[in-house]
Amino acid sequence: MIELLRDEPLTFLLVAGILLFSLVLHELGHAVSALWSGDPTARLMGRITLNPLKHLDPWGTLLLLFAGFGWARPVPIDPRNFRNYRVGLFVVSIAGIVVNLGIALLCVLLLRGLDSLGLAATYGTLTDAVLYAAAINITLAVFNLLPVPPLDGSKIVQSVLPLRWHPFIWRLEANPNYAIIMLLLFLTVLRAPVGQLIRWVQSEFFKLTLG
């Protein structure tokens, strides 16, 4: 993304706009699915909104734009309110990932539409921006699927784990020292293997959808 900012600033601005909206929709997906599952916590805290100021985390947004991965402000939930604890935990956790995959698919449909109309070259900047946006939404989906607390993937796994393990996971996620350690690991030791996984998924996604 840094190279994109330097070489194609207009494309960078388009990508940044799409990605910020993607982060907002990701968190909104969590908030709405939590309400559907019986938990009004997110609604009571004003998180069922498209207002980016309610959802975006400054550091997470900057990392997403310049390092290729990042995060938004987590949606507060109280699983005790779920009508079905395990189902609610699974649905709320996977909702943001489904939103990112949906955005990536919409980007692909737009790319295919531009190509079929012979406009892909004419609107090259838009085409490049949509392609980047699709790739980074895949990045967000894959990254959040990692079964590492506090990522969504850990809660998806948690939804099928024995209940006696859950309090430990919640305490781990609430520990600020753990969050710092995991951030440092993702920026160093885990950066290469996670990057390889993401690039592979992106490649397979584009082969499947764009041919």
**Segment 105-154, tens digit of pLDDT:** 999 999 999 888 887 777 788 888 899 889 989 999 999 999 988 899 99
Are 155 and 163 within 8 A, CB to CB?
no
Write the burial class of residue 158 (CB in 10 Å: 0-12 exposed, 13-18 middle, 19+ buried). buried
pLDDT for res 174: 85
Are 129 and 11 within 8 A, CB to CB?
yes
Are 193 and 187 within 8 A, CB to CB?
no
Annotated catalytic residues are 27
C-alpha span between 154 and 112 (Å, rounded): 34
Positions of the chain with pLDDT under 70? 1-2, 5, 68-70
pLDDT for res 205: 96
pLDDT for res 68: 63
pTM: 0.91
pLDDT for res 31: 97
Instruction: Please state at what angle helix 176-187 crosses helix 166-174, rounded to 10 degrees.
Output: 80
Containing H/E element for 16?
A: helix 9-36
CA 139 to chain CA centroid, Å, is 7
